[in-house]
Structure 1
């Protein structure tokens, strides 16, 4: 009986080894929860080209925008667990969406496996030049003096920018008015025009306006300052050390749970290498983002750190997606 068990185990090991050695034997698909032409799509295409070279197979892009990222995530959770269908995403579909909508057809911890956090994109609280504040302390004092009169924008109900405003209102009693837009560029345009006082916007979108003095960054979210703008303090350094202001923007790769460990390891290895390739660093520089190339374990740790914070923000705010 023992001999039979050992033979069976050995056979499984050989099968897994052969599968890993054969991977990838055909093209891979990157599923992206964004339309063609945007920042996430552009980064995904550069990443696909670099990883494809290393894996020896072409990687095609399947854009699935809409439904708060559900369509893209669902496509991956319904695919075979073989490493040929990979989700390239930002945080919202796997952190925000499950708590904003009453029924989401996936459970991140159950249905997905982490591969690598490829990059981080600094996100800032930025104000119109019409706002007479040079730092967060002055901004909060000004907003308190103009209670109920200050408006801010985000790229949708329940997005991080919206939740930041809700948290500031709740903890500081500011009664600021939220304006929802369809995209980050529209938020930046209305901050630029002075139609709204402030917004939470990525540095990649803001940098030209910041350099021209037309928009003023007050603080960056996350645990560290942006390399592209080291003079801008973090929210914690600016006096707001609430965990609500610690999440940062990122791009990461995930696959369906049950994907063989050897395949996950190969994807992780090539994603980490591709993150620091010259073409990727050039692409990231265009959006003022920074390469990370984390391990799967490190990526999961980042998720486990941010997810409870965002969940608490959503649940206590009462915000629901429209």
Structure 2
């Protein structure tokens, strides 16, 4: 009798999965972006929503829920019905590094969310104020900072961001005693770099390029394994002699859903997202933004997440960054 019941339950489960796959999406999908409208993640989410919506024959809305370093928007998705109609478009900090930055976090990415696809990665560039900093490569910057120990400052777009953590690593490794200056976003950080209030930043190539082109900012090195399509003349950190794994890291934008979302629904979202990301139109759009389009499988996304965990954990520990 019990064996028959078990078989019946398995049949019901398979049937439910098939129904989920056949009927999804049954209503508009919402992409939750845990950052303000107008930012890079928002632009990518809206472009992806338009392309996926057209392909799926269903409206995809973008809902910006900024606040608390991405926690507010992330929790919106964690608590949403696990039916594939509420999707998180996340950055590294809210999905990965927050667990090391906050003593108490109301979610655990691996426990509460399912990976769908890594949308794109974003190399960053270390750039100096061309008037105040004589360095023309990474080694010269470190030597100059050593001669000016305690007098060099660097900017980031917020505590716990990669620019903060990477700058802190550079400072601690060389015992350079550099000062971190946190801004509320990349725009004011860039303005102060151009104005000479800070010595260097690690920022997005697209934002810094106009000031690089006019000579007010000098790029020294880019993160990742390959050069930026926006700044192809700038060497990577590895090419510059710094092979620390931290500077091989790339910021990423990823798609995740509530953990118990049916596997066929996750697979459908993965398929549609990957096809959209690899379309000619979106690849060109993302590359123009200085991004590297990916469209990974869910398994590849999770593997990248796991392999990067210890590197990010070390970065946070070295920086001493802690958020409340």
TM-score range, shorter chain: over 0.9
The answer for unaligned runs of 5 or more in structure 2 is: none
Provide the residue aligned with 2:216 in structure 1: 214
Partner of 2:7: 6
**Counterpart residue number, 2:24:** 23
CA separation in 1, counterparts of 2:82 and 2:32?
14
Q: Which position in structure 2 is the counterpart of 1:187?
A: 189
CA contact (8 A) 1:95 1:311 kept: no
Deviations 1:6-55 (A, max 9, x none): 34322321221111111011111100011112221121111101111122
Match of 1:139 in 2: 141
Matched positions, count = 322
Corresponding residue number in structure 2 for 1:53? 54
Cα distance in 2 for residues equivalent to 1:149 and 1:8: 68
Using the TM superposition, give the Cα deviation of residue 4 of structure 1 relative to its aligned residue in structure 2, in angstroms.
4.6
Q: What is the rounded CA distance, in whole Å, between the counterparts of 1:96 and 1:261 in structure 2?
A: 26
SS of alignment partner, residue 208 of structure 1: helix
Q: Could you give the per-residue CA deviations for residues 68-108 of structure 1, whole angstroms, max 9, x where no partner exists? A: 00001100111111111100011111122222122110001
Query: For residues 160 and 54 of structure 2, what CA distance do their matches in structure 1 show?
Result: 38
> TM-score, normalised on structure 2?
0.95
C-alpha contact 1:204 1:289 (8 A) present in aligned 2: no
Between the aligned partners of 2:78 and 2:222, the Cα distance in structure 1 is 33
Number of the residue aligned with 1:109: 110
Structure 1 CA distance, aligned partners of 2:89 and 2:258? 12
For 2:155 and 2:309, the matched residues in 1 are separated by 23
Is 2:238 the partner of 1:240? no
d(CA) in 1 for partners of 2:152 and 2:228? Answer: 27
TM-score by length of 1: 0.96
Q: Residues 82-93 of structure 1 correspond to what in structure 2 (within 5 A)?
A: 82-93=83-94
Deviation at 1:211, TM superposition (A): 2.2
Q: Distance in 1 between matches of 2:67 and 2:7?
A: 49
Taking the aligned partners of 2:204 and 2:10, their CA distance within structure 1 comes to 50
Kept after mapping to 2: 8 A contact 1:121/1:287: no
- Give the alignment's Cα RMSD to 1 decimal: 1.5
Inter-partner Cα distance in structure 1 for 2:75 and 2:141? 41
1:159-198 counterparts in 2 under 5 A?
A: 159-198=161-200
Greater displacement, 140-149 / 229-238:
229-238
